[in-house]
Structure 1
Amino acid sequence: MLNFGIIGTSWITHSFVECAHATGKWNLVAVYSRKEETAAEFAGKYEGRKVTLYTDLDDLAKDTNLQAVYIASPNILHYSHAKAMLSAGKHVILEKPSCSTSKELDELFKLSKEKGVFLIEAWRHIREANFKILKKSMEKLGQIYGASITYAQFSGRYDKVLKGETPNIFNLDMGGGALADLGVYTVAAAVDLFGAPKDAQYFPVIIRTGADGGGTLILHYDNFVVHLCGTKMWDSQAPSEIYGERGTLVVPMITDIEQVTFWDPRKKMREELGGPKEELNLKAEAEDFARIISEKDWDAAKRFETHSRETLKITEKVRRDNGLLFPVER
């Protein structure tokens, strides 16, 4: 059983705690928030557990009962919060996107190794069972001709932008923008499926706040390209597809995949490959994180480190190409 604390009290944190507890391998023992009433409200949802409340980050870091910390604070705070916890010798599960820049992420991985603890970015979708089936099924395609990956979900907070407000997710000062908040899912999926591209180009829709509300990203590989669409300005029912010489693999969405279908154009037949979707969609990653930490699986951690580095390298490059700069880059 891993005793863990949390930084960030949004819905995603509740989801992680629920899924972590469902594995039977995690135990919430600490909640940090700048406001004690917010921490108390969060902890109150987990009756029967002894949870310590913190409003001081240093005090959280000093808690000897803590082995790991899950961080889901605003994007712009990921680096400083992770650095504080790693420095204290805590394992860190860091919500996506990891950091503003590759330089920051380099520093965190260096620190984690010096302290002998794990730093793992929480890419839930690439750890889902049906995503793994999709990846394994690529062998059915033969030569890859290309792919199209879409993640387009309208955000109610975009209406606030239209009213003149600047929510965090559409604020570059807070590490926001559609690419950082949602488009990264498509980038992370592509890197896991196809590896690092040779080049990347982003065509963003710049909104009133100066951030990107959505956009199309093209990844260039040796013999094919991958088109990525990520936006918080509109919904899309378009599936995600991988094309090959022997057929096409199709999933309804690149996250929370409900089915994986192989279409054979010669036989004009569909083959269903996926299994039932996990209702608790963060449970698989919570299981994996617990295993890596308990078994000290540094090989798996290294693979995830490479994935995190390559994903951030892409988003960092295309943001800068378009002048979408975070505070540390200005």
Structure 2
Amino acid sequence: MNFGTVGTSWITESFIEAAKDTADMRLAAVYSRSEQKAKQFIEKHGGSNIFTDVEAMAKSKLIDCVYIASPNALHYEHAITFLKHRKHVICEKPMFSNTKELESAYQIAEENGVFLVEAMRNVYMPNLVTLKEKMEKAGQLRNIVFNYAKYSSRYDAVLNGEEPNIFSLQYSGGALVDLGVYPIAAAIFLFGEPEHVSYSPVIIRTGVDGCGTLVLSYSDFMCTIFCSKISTSYNSSEIQGEKGTFTIDDIGSIANISFIDNHTGQKQQIANEHPEKDMFYEIDQIVQMIKTNNKAEYKKRKQLSADVLNITETVRRENGIVYQND
């Protein structure tokens, strides 16, 4: 499939480089509000067509699908533009600001016979599937702790009195929707929907959560998620059961997983590192889903995205974190 991109940040560059390793994706067009930036971007990554108008790009026959990595608050506007012109949309997480946008966009996708998929890389990792298959080794689950805390270079700008998009209510930012969605998605993938959720955020000057602790309550165990963009954690994530504990080095990439037996203390390697281009897995599986018109898999991916967004929207509203898009 020929694809275009909306957004010229590092995440778009990572997507393009990973797509080069697939047999079915070819970069055909790049959009940027700045013609100069679009030219520089396409010269660096290949392709031959640039656009400075989203509508014109959506109408173009040059592309079959688009990868959207614009600021969070613009995802909905950009996605529906392409969906209405019958282009498949792969949208970087968090796909939308709220469930209202999500439901509307999925309806438009259905009306136009195209796919709308969230790019949430960790739930496409083979290692996460392996972990789920081996979960019984831990026995009865009792406590899960997922960490995803990484100091953002953009927080320096906040400290200097500025308001970068990722720390802005206007652009649907904050730690939970930027980093917290990874462990939330992993938890739902592994354990299903929780019975109850609660969030204790640290609200920074711009009005968004700089960090926070989310608790997902299940019938017989708890899952505690710590996410932060204003500090860094070097701790691994853990799934603790009565028989043993799984350790996960990075809940965002699921690169290395070990299991430690509670009685013997023996440590077993469950999964090894992924290649550097870890976005390859999501791209490859999404493309195959589209090519084969796999509606069953599409339904599962839609539900996962809806479940994650429902949690983030619920807890941020409970804590007075209200976006402009709301």
Q: TM-score, normalised by structure 1?
A: 0.96
Q: Show structure 2 runs of 5+ residues with no match.
A: none
Task: Give the deviation of 1:105 after TM superposition.
Answer: 0.1
Give 1:160's aligned residue.
157
Give 1:92's aligned residue.
89
Task: Give the deviation of 1:134 after TM superposition.
Answer: 1.9
Which stretches of structure 1, 4 residues or longer, exceed 3 Å deviation after superposition?
A: none
Question: Equivalents in 2 of 1:255, 1:184: separation in Å?
Answer: 9
Question: Equivalents in 1 of 2:202, 2:54: separation in Å?
Answer: 37
Give 1:82's aligned residue.
79
Q: Is the counterpart of residue 14 in structure 1 residue 17 in structure 2? A: no
Q: Show structure 1 runs of 5+ residues with no match.
A: none
Q: List per-residue Cα deviations over 1:241-300 (Å, max 9, x = no partner).
A: 111121111111102233211110111211111023222110111110110111111111
Q: Is the counterpart of residue 68 in structure 1 residue 60 in structure 2? A: no
Letter in 2 for 1:29: A
Q: Is the 8 A contact 1:172 1:210 kept in 2?
A: yes
State which of 179, 187, 192 in structure 1 corresponds to 2:184. 187
Q: Is the 8 A contact 2:65 2:89 kept in 1?
A: yes
SS of aligned partner of 1:23:
coil
State which of 211, 227, 231 in structure 1 corresponds to 2:228. 231
State which of 159, 166, 171 in structure 2 corresponds to 1:169. 166
Letter in 2 for 1:325: V
Letter in 1 for 2:306: R
Aligned residues: 326
Q: List per-residue Cα deviations over 1:20-57 (Å, max 9, x = no partner).
A: 1111210011111111111111101134x4x2111111
Task: Give the deviation of 1:157 after TM superposition.
Answer: 1.2
Letter in 2 for 1:28: L
Give 2:146's aligned residue.
149
SS of aligned partner of 1:273:
strand
Give 1:262's aligned residue.
259
- Report 1:4-153 matches (<5 A): 4-47=3-46, 49=47, 51-153=48-150
Q: Is the 8 A contact 2:73 2:325 kept in 1?
A: no
Letter in 2 for 1:132: V
Q: Is the 8 A contact 2:146 2:226 kept in 1?
A: yes
Q: Is the 8 A contact 1:150 1:239 kept in 2?
A: yes
**Superposition CA RMSD, Å:** 1.1
Question: Equivalents in 2 of 1:128, 1:258: separation in Å?
Answer: 9
What is the aligned-residue identity percentage? 44
Letter in 1 for 2:110: K
Question: Equivalents in 2 of 1:5, 1:272: separation in Å?
Answer: 39
Q: Is the 8 A contact 2:69 2:91 kept in 1?
A: yes
Question: Equivalents in 2 of 1:123, 1:31: separation in Å?
Answer: 21
Q: TM-score, normalised by structure 2?
A: 0.98
Q: Is the 8 A contact 1:133 1:260 kept in 2?
A: no
Give 1:293's aligned residue.
290
Question: Equivalents in 2 of 1:46, 1:204: separation in Å?
Answer: 39
Which range is displaced more, 320-329 or 255-264?
255-264
Question: Equivalents in 2 of 1:164, 1:58: separation in Å?
Answer: 35
